[in-house]
Amino acid sequence: MAQTSSTVSDMGSMGDTSAVETKDVIVNEKTPLPGISEKDKLRAEELKNKANEFFKAQDFQNAIIYYSQAIEANPLVAAYYGNRSFAYLKTECFGLALEDASEALAIDRSYIKGYYRRATANMALGKFKKAVKDYETVMKYRPNDKDAKLKFTECSKIVKRQAFERAIRSDDSKKSVVESLDIENMVLEDDYDGPKFENTVSKEFMVDLLEHFRQQKKVHRRYAYTILVQINKLFRKLPSLCDITIPEGGKFTVCGDIHGQFYDLLNIFKLNGLPSEDNPYLFNGDFVDRGSFSVEVILTLFGFKLLYPDHFHLSRGNHESETMNQMYGFYGEVKAKYTSQMADLFTEVYNWLPLAQVINQKVMVMHGGLFSADNVTLDDIRKVERDRQPPETGIMCELLWSDPQPQPGRAPSKRGVGCQFGPDITKRFLESNNLEYVIRSHEVKADGYEVAHDGKCITVFSAPNYCDTMGNKGAFITMGTDLKPKYTTYEAVPHPDVRPMAYANAMFGFM
């Protein structure tokens, strides 16, 4: 069979994350090409070129649309899948990125960027063993690729470290970080001019803390550790599913992902008022990672939870986990601003965060979404043993990772973890649990929120211009006892010149 060329191809090194396929490559000679006309091939190229322009403009959703159309016109070009895989990586659809990379390699086993994309997707999912194998393949064919060599080396280190930790770790013998702390003997230096408290967090401390953080100053480690120890004790007493009551005539606010964007958090408080007994809040997970002011965000949220334990609520997100924090910046930020011991203590505290909340017995709020199994009840959620790292399957996993889809039924997750659920799944869950609607977060939305599933599934995302690149608005939801959601949207505010992911390991700079 004659070789078929296509104007797709290899621009830059493997580590050049701005590269999409643009030049000529030869499609695997063994690949059959039944029914693909020259007209279809030319149309596919035009669509791919249009997708590339959207990609370069960082409009990844439109890039995905046009790569998909190119694939539909000519499904036998590996690079189309490779490019779409890269766009999926940019939108955190790691499961779909993984599928596309594998499809590209099924078409052409010599398509090296397919191994690279697949390794990157597996790395994002914390599947480092699989990532190592593909990076090894890249290095075999491109021994001078420095980026692939770096990632192979770092992934190999992580695999070895995880194996070592599993070998020495026993849940029964593992000591709490809290037990190793000696807070009383942490010296408060004479030149420390930040906020202080004696035994309990006060309103004055919190107001001063916000200003202290706004000026890019650190709270003393003595107080940071005290907040963590006290919040750990508080969280351990809470159930996995918490019940919240809005009193008659009261107001309640639900916020979505903040992702370390402290100055946007300050803007929420400016727009909607500081938390108080009369102005209660729920922050719905993903407080940290990506943004480089995550320490300031999380200590602020924990401080308000200590100040108003019955009127300030926090739910766990998928980024309140050890693997995510090590990849997306939070672990590195805590080590840079404090110590690795404190980073380990955060991991311990996150294990006790509640997984979901129910407002006035009618509205369920969770970070991710619903379930791969029917007949999950609120009591099932209450019974979840949450003191652990998020598993890859089951109720806890899906509460943190799942996403809605417009079509009925269920589908494998675009992220590679959790599931996708349709309007019929939402309707059945609400009916069987006597609920009116659900609120979730977890996804960037152009307006900061989205109403789906006939008004029964609401997404709220509170980090505007996510990662300083997405251009989205942020939003929060307010409601009274009638539980009718009202949406407030806002633009990003300026922040100090510290880029997102500034504290992340260089090998994780693929997003």
Active site residue ranges: 319
In which element (H, E) is residue 390 found?
none
Q: What b/e readout covers 167-192, taking b as 16+ CB neighbours within 10 angstroms?
A: eeeeeeeeeebeeebeeeeeeeeeee
Distances in Å between the alpha carbon of 18 and those of 111, 145, 481?
Answer: 18, 16, 49
Q: Which candidate, 179, 178, 504, places its Cα nearest to that of 335? A: 504
β pairing state of 363-366 and 419-421:
unpaired
Q: CA–CA separation, 110 vs 142, rounded Å?
A: 12
Q: CB within 8 A of 30, min separation 6: which ones?
A: none
Q: CB within 8 A of 92, min separation 6: which ones?
A: 124, 415, 511
Long-range contacts of 304-309 (CB under 8 A, 24+ apart): 304/206, 304/275, 305/231, 305/234, 306/200, 306/201, 306/227, 306/230, 306/231, 306/234, 307/201, 307/202, 307/203, 307/206, 307/275, 308/275, 308/276, 308/277, 308/280, 309/234
